[in-house]
Amino acid sequence: MASGRGRVMDVRGIYAEFPSLDPDVPLRYRRIVEQIPFPAGILEIGRGDVGLAHLLGAPMVTCDIRPVTRTAAGESFVRASGIQLPFRDASFDAVVAVDVLEHLPKDCRPSLVRETLRVSRGLVVLACPTARSERAEAVHRKMLGVVRGEENPWLEEHRQRGLPTESEIVESIPADWHVDQLQSVNLLAWSLNRFLVDVVHITLRPLAWLGSVVDIGRTYRTVFVLRRSSFAKASPDKRG
């Protein structure tokens, strides 16, 4: 399942297994899977209910602080915290954490970054919404409260913890690691999907097939691709 230097997701297969899956799940992983070479030993931190192992259908190790009910074929799940990983140094070719940093207290975020770097042989991919998306989240939280009288627990936790800034993340990365920043999921597409899923309770599957067109313009997430300087490769999508 290789595509150049990276991999491709089986979106059709994942919807056959999870028919009501939020389209934001495959969308938020799209830029990540492009960065992971094939084959590679992968660790995903904070895999949630449906993670990278389901989307790629490839063997890997995953971890989360909560137990999981449904593992993917070839997935080895370990219940563990990302700020204290039970793995030796340089255990994995690639370490991935998607939408994890923003759920941690601010003073714990550097610890997670350090742990990802410690257990990686040379590639770490972190992705999360940053502070520039706070207004869009606030608008959605207000709409959800007014229309349905409900809260999205994940977005409520974002409000309580505060979204990380890009500089906060970059400053926690040692100088011997090279950083590329990629943009992920157009902010309007994210807002539309959240309205459909949270307010209208509709899953608009075609959103999951939008591909690179969904990553243009102002985006909801930033993807931080970290490589040890000795392995760093120039990226056409480098920011800054």
Domains, in order of start, for the chain: 2-229 (3.40.50.150)
Distance CA 66, CA 47 (A): 10
- Position 58 confidence tier, pLDDT thresholds 50, 70, 90: confident
Q: What is the largest CA-CA distance in the chain?
A: 52
- Position 100 confidence tier, pLDDT thresholds 50, 70, 90: very high
Instruction: Please tell me the pTM assigned to this model.
Output: 0.90
Backbone angles phi, psi at 98, to 5 degrees: -110, 125
Contact indicator for 119, 86 with CB cutoff of 8 Å:
no
- Position 232 confidence tier, pLDDT thresholds 50, 70, 90: low
pLDDT given for residue 237 in this prediction = 44
User: Whose structure tokens read 């059709």?
Assistant: 12
- Reported as a single tens digit per residue, the pLDDT across 84-97 is 999 999 999 999 99
Task: Say what the alpha-carbon torsion angle 117, 122, 127, 130 is, to the nearest 10 degrees.
Answer: 60
Mean residue pLDDT across the chain? 90
List C-alpha distances in Å: 179 to 41, 67, 97, 234: 21, 32, 15, 10
Calculate what percentage of the chain has a pLDDT beyond 90: 78
pLDDT given for residue 40 in this prediction = 80
